Amino acid sequence: MALMITDECINCDVCEPECPNDAISQGEEIYVIAADLCTECIGHHEVSQCVEVCPVDCIILNPDIVETEAQLHEKYLALGNV
């Protein structure tokens, strides 16, 4: 699954620079994650870096976008990561 940021986001700015796929950006009110770029850090790190650094635990799995680890790895490769 891609990740998403809930409205508990406090705009602390720590998640955006941690994303290896540049999937996180400032939205109208809070940060947002582009699902087409989010691989949950598969291929880059053992754990999702944005989740690791979020001080309010507002980054969760997006229930509307179900992806297996294999699909996330395919996305990682399709994004030009080798």
Q: What is the pLDDT along the chain (82 residues), one digit of tens a residue?
A: 799 999 999 999 999 999 999 999 999 999 999 999 999 999 999 999 999 999 999 999 999 999 999 999 999 999 987 6
Q: Supply the range of the domain harboring residue 26.
A: 3-78
Distance CA 57, CA 7 (A): 11
Which amino acid, one-letter code, is at 1?
M
Q: Domain containing 20 — which CATH number?
A: 3.30.70.20
Residue 4 near residue 19, CB atoms below 8 Å: no
If one counts the domains in the chain, the total is 1
Q: What contacts 76, CB < 8 A, 6 or more positions away?
A: 21, 39, 42, 43, 44
